[in-house]
Chain A
Amino acid sequence: QKEVEQDPGPLSVPEGAIVSLNCTYSNSAFQYFMWYRQYSRKGPELLMYTYSSGNKEDGRFTAQVDKSSKYISLFIRDSQPSDSATYLCAIHSGGSNYKLTFGKGTLLTVNP
């Protein structure tokens, strides 16, 4: 079983839609959960960061972690064409471990 699994999409939605992006993971030791956004031909940039379970909201973006199900989600409300990008989940176990485990990314297109 892969450490982190993410549906690659592609996902295409109309402008204004609510978008749900998801990852599942296998290692219960993971504690830190991140979402990166990567525009075409650019580097990944940190979008959201969450520790342990619960929700975190930042403007139109909400990150949700369910550790009991080993499931993380990113919700985008009122999606905009500028949200069109690849979204990567990334997970870290904490402590002195350097390794950040990435999902393969979901390609999202928001159509005007």
Chain B
Amino acid sequence: NAGVTQTPKFRVLKTGQSMTLLCAQDMNHEYMYWYRQDPGMGLRLIHYSVGEGTTAKGEVPDGYNVSRLKKQNFLLGLESAAPSQTSVYFCASSYPVKTSQGNIQYFGAGTRLSVL
């Protein structure tokens, strides 16, 4: 049971290049999330998904796109990378929100992205 797995772990891009970050979870979670973490800014939600085939915008969605074609996978795409997208990206997943459990999210190890 690996939990939440992110690939790649590190990546360096040049401005204008594109890339896709992959998140895979083996916990049969319905909900999945993409965050970015920057010094002094904390975790900020980029996009999220409440089920296969559905996605929605979070707090900072500009410059990113996502897809959830399979329940276990959530992809984050950068179409034209900018230096402002240099960050650490975390994927998380959770069960559907239930009144007795709140929204406990389980995180991957992160992807460190530098855009030059």
Q: Spell out A's residues near B (CB within 8 Å).
A: 8, 31-32, 34, 36, 41-46, 49, 51, 88, 90, 92, 94-100, 102-105
**B58 to nearest A CB, angstroms?**
8
In contact, B40 and A104 (Cβ under 8 angstroms) = yes
How far, in whole Å, are A100 and B107 apart by their CA atoms in the complex? 13
Range, interface on chain B: 20 to 34
**A62 to nearest B CB, angstroms?**
19
How far, in whole Å, are A90 and B45 apart by their CA atoms in the complex? 13
Q: For the complex, would chain A's binding face be called helix, strand, loop or mixed by DSSP majority?
A: loop
In contact, A42 and B110 (Cβ under 8 angstroms) = yes
0/1 interface trace, chain B 85-115, chain A, CB 8 Å (1 if under): 0000010000001011111111111101000
How far, in whole Å, are A46 and B103 apart by their CA atoms in the complex? 11
Chain B residues with CB under 8 A of A90: 105
In contact, B90 and A105 (Cβ under 8 angstroms) = no
Interface-centre pick from B31, B41, B106, B112 (highest chain A CB count, 10 A): B106
Q: Spell out B's residues near A (CB within 8 Å).
A: 4, 31, 40-43, 45, 48, 50, 90, 97, 99-110, 112
**B21 to nearest A CB, angstroms?**
13
- B110's partner among A43, A97, A102 (CB-CB below 8 A) is A43
How far, in whole Å, are A94 and B114 apart by their CA atoms in the complex? 36
In contact, B104 and A49 (Cβ under 8 angstroms) = yes
In contact, B103 and A92 (Cβ under 8 angstroms) = yes
Q: Smallest CB-CB separation from A96: which chain B residue?
A: B97
How far, in whole Å, are A80 and B104 apart by their CA atoms in the complex? 26
**A26 to nearest B CB, angstroms?**
16
In contact, B106 and A46 (Cβ under 8 angstroms) = yes
